Structure 1
Amino acid sequence: MFKNGVEGDGVHGFQGEVFTSTPAQPDIYSALTSHIHVMWTDDATPSVLTSEEEILSAEEAGSVTLESLDVVINMPQIVWPGGQMNVKEDKTLADDTPYGGGQVLDIDLDEMTVTFIAHRGWGPDGRTIYYIVTDATPSGPAGGMGVTYAPTSASLIANSAAVDLFQFSNGLTGSGPKGFQAGIAASAPGDKNYSPMWRISFIAWQNPAEAGLIETIGDINYYKEAGLIDVNLARPMDSDHIVNCPFIDPFQ
């Protein structure tokens, strides 16, 4: 991020940000970005720098200084050189719309806007929440949902930066990713442990014919202790399963 220099559409009003990776480099790409402020020195002539290499060369030449920030921002890339997120072909949305096929309805580069599908779920206390899906690991679920494959997210599986999201593998029909009821998140914005990075578990009813609606973390614990449901960490493709699902307010 540039704090001075050539004016532009960057966060601070100067040239645009320079990313060190894109989804075309899945082994190193992450939507979770650390940030470094770039500042031109007083005796330097600012120019537009377009790569990490150019920035480091300018630092070595004494033209810019770099300041690492203790900040991480969730910045999923929508369009990158040679690629972009999938745009869903069938834009008709209903309660029974399949979860897969893409999470983006429109990308408008002229207006610099992107329209995501908002998924409904429940927060830990049963309040309605909405979220979007931007990237996931492993490749199977990412491809099925039509989002960016981000294998580096697997490193969060046992980290506090990932929070539990419970989906359903049977029971009541609904808008969840497997066609059953909507999921339940273990935290929501405003909670100390909130994170957009979700560690997925699946809930299965012992007797699907007797399934009821589960809306809270308390409900999950009750039915689990009663032996009516099983709760298991998702391991698709025998791999750690993390999904980037930022909560949003679709009514803003």
Structure 2
Amino acid sequence: MRKLIAILIIVIFATSIVSISSISDQFVDAGSRKKIHFTQTFSSTQDPGQGHENHQLSLILSPNEGTIYDGSMTFTSSEPVQIVVLHEINPNDAKGQPTWSIDGDTVYGLSLIDLQEKSGSFEFTGAALGLHSSNSKPFTSTVSVDGWIRGQPTEVIMQKIQLEKEDPKSLLSRANVPATIPMHKGIYGGEKVLYIITDGSDEEYAKNLSEKQKWNVELAPALADVPEDTLQKIFIFKNGVKGDGFYGFQDEVFSSTPQQESEYSALSSVIEVTWKTGQKEIVFKSADAVIAAKEGGRIEFKETGIVLNTPQIIWPDGQMQVRSDKEITDDMEYGGGQITEINEDEMTVTFVAHRGWGPDGRTIYYIVTDATPSGPAKMMGVVSSPTSANLIAHSGAVDLFQFKNGIKGSGPLGFQAGIASAALGDENYSPMWRIYLIEWNDSGDAKILETKSDIDSFRGDDLITVSIARPTNSDHIVNCPFIDPFQ
């Protein structure tokens, strides 16, 4: 049985009226900052604030002199609640602003977010955080907090307590959540293709597509110069026969599908097609027909240089695997398929979105659509895409670190969630990920790592080994678009 060092925070409130007895979780020192991450159930008590005697308060993060908290909170509650954020102020500076105080001497600025909801998510910065009800009925809430403590608290006593644990686990909340994404119709070989659009290399194009499909197409600048042998072609029509395509004309035409495994890529090079004046317009059924019409002088091509991530969900004679177990839970198996439902009536597909960490420790979610080599693709239940291997040494793929031992958790190998070296909004973000494996040299030293600098630090101390993943001695690239599953 291994021993873990857990840090128990005992918050002692000066008046002894409100206290949080203990929060046991994983903290990471970062100079004057400490990482805080926990999920806990709280019961409300009478709000001790002056003028709040008939209200209920559940204090999640207690005020401590010299301390600022910032991060994100997700909660569910038995009653509709408001969110309370307190701010340290000098009482002389209150000047009519809303305040909260127990004794009238120690005064806090009060931000009251009047959600009146039983669940929600909220980004916060302040000296304290709580849930509040303006009636006297007690409530219980389960809260997940992911953030930082900044400053040097003077009223927090930190004790290192040895706890006996057989199998320490990383207990992330909402480790897996549903993400329902709109599908589009396309054509290959005269037959239907249904696909999604998750990323684009051009900001204006991504913005226009986002507005059209009412789902964010994320900007991925790193896709702009991926090798041509990593791409297929998507023909987009700017005039011709009316239809449901991007510009209101016929459906887009693809040059391959997963059925042509050695050629297929989810990354599509955008070619805009325009009919010349005086030509008889028809609906094209295949890429070959489009190319023949161009060679015959009937249409013109504009090779935009734009790359879209367009994973195909249904194609002639095939579709992505749908999970047999439709329930999405925090501890669900990673394999067996990444989709829980394909709804052709609503033109949507529901993926399992997996939680991980961005390079700076922020929460990210991603889906998995295709991979190479075929072994890992089959295990995850996604499309095999050998052409992705051409990105192994290219900047169009970004590093994603997964754990092969250590703290058990929701990662693909059964251990803690992974850490990405780029996030949405970063100049080097791409949905194509080059997988690295992290192995603790002594699993008894294992801790939760949450940032790229954590990896660098522990690697520098020779506590972990980092190596590129090469299943079956093959280059390993996974298409994992980062998304906002809550949009």
Tell whether the structures are fold-level matches, with TM greater than 0.5: yes
Deviation at 1:185, TM superposition (A): 0.2
What count of residue pairs does the alignment treat as equivalent? 252
Gaps of 5+ in 1: none
**C-alpha separation in 2, matches of 1:231 and 1:167:** 10
Please point out which of 380, 383, 401 is paired with 1:166: 401
Partner AA of 1:154 in structure 2: A
Percent sequence identity is: 61
State the alpha-carbon separation in 1 of the partners of residues 326 and 407 from structure 2.
Answer: 25
Relative CO higher for 1 or 2, CA cutoff 8 Å, sep ≥ 6? 1
SS at match of 1:59: helix
2:296 to 49, 61, 66: 61
- Give the equivalent residue in structure 2 for 1:244: 479
Tell me the secondary structure at the aligned position of residue 117 of structure 1: strand
CA deviation vs aligned residue, 1:5-36 (integer Å, no higher than 9, x gap): 11111111110000000000111110010011
Query: 419, 426, 431: which is aligned to 1:196?
Result: 431
What residue number does 1:211 align with?
446
Alignment of structure 1 residues 43-192 onto 2, 5 Å: 43-192=278-427
Displacement after TM superposition at 1:210 (Å): 2.2
**TM-score, normalising length from structure 1?**
0.99
Deviations, residues 22-78 of structure 1 (Å, cap 9, x unaligned): 000111110010011111111012110011121122223322111111101110111
* Unmatched tracts of structure 2, length 5 or more: 1-235
How far apart are the structure 2 equivalents of 1:107 and 1:217?
35
Letter in 2 for 1:144: M
Query: Given that residues 436 and 467 in structure 2 are in contact (C-alpha distance below 8 angstroms), is that contact kept between their aligned partners in structure 1?
Result: yes
Counterparts of 2:244 and 2:402 in 1: how far apart (Å)?
A: 39
Distance 2:297 2:376 in 1: 46
- Bigger Rg, which one: 2
**Which 4+ stretches in 1 moved above 3 angstroms?**
none
Distance 2:383 2:372 in 1: 9
What RMSD, in angstroms, separates the aligned Cα atoms of the two structures?
0.7
Contact in 2 for aligned 1:138/1:241 (Cα 8 Å): yes
Q: Is the 1:196–1:247 contact (alpha carbons within 8 Å) kept by the matching residues of 2?
A: yes
> Post-superposition shift, 1:209?
2.2
CA distance in 2, matches of 1:59, 1:232: 47
Superposition deviation, residue 223 in structure 1: 0.4
Match of 2:274 among 39, 46, 50: 39
- Residues 140-174 of structure 1 show CA distances to partners (whole Å, capped at 9, x for unaligned) of 10000000000100010000000000000001111
What is the CA–CA distance in structure 2 between the aligned matches of 1:60 and 1:217, rounded to whole Å? 50
Q: Is the 8 A contact 2:445 2:463 kept in 1?
A: no
1:120-158, CA deviations, whole angstroms, 9 ceiling, x for partnerless residues? 000000000000000000011000000000010001000
What is the aligned partner in structure 1 of residue 241 from structure 2? 6
Stretch of structure 1 that moved more, 128-137 or 92-101: 92-101
Alignment-mate amino acid for residue 317 of structure 2:
G
**8 Å CA contact 1:95, 1:174 repeated in 2:** no
- 1:3 and 1:110 map into 2 onto residues whose CA distance is 26
Structure 1 letter corresponding to 2:252: E
Q: Separation in 1 of the partners of 2:457 and 2:438?
A: 13
Cα distance per residue 1:105-127 (max 9 Å; x no partner): 11111211100000000000000
SS at match of 1:220: helix
Corresponding residue number in structure 2 for 1:17:
252
Task: Give the number of the structure whose residues are more often strand, by fraction.
Answer: 2
Cα pair 1:184 1:216 within 8 Å, conserved: yes
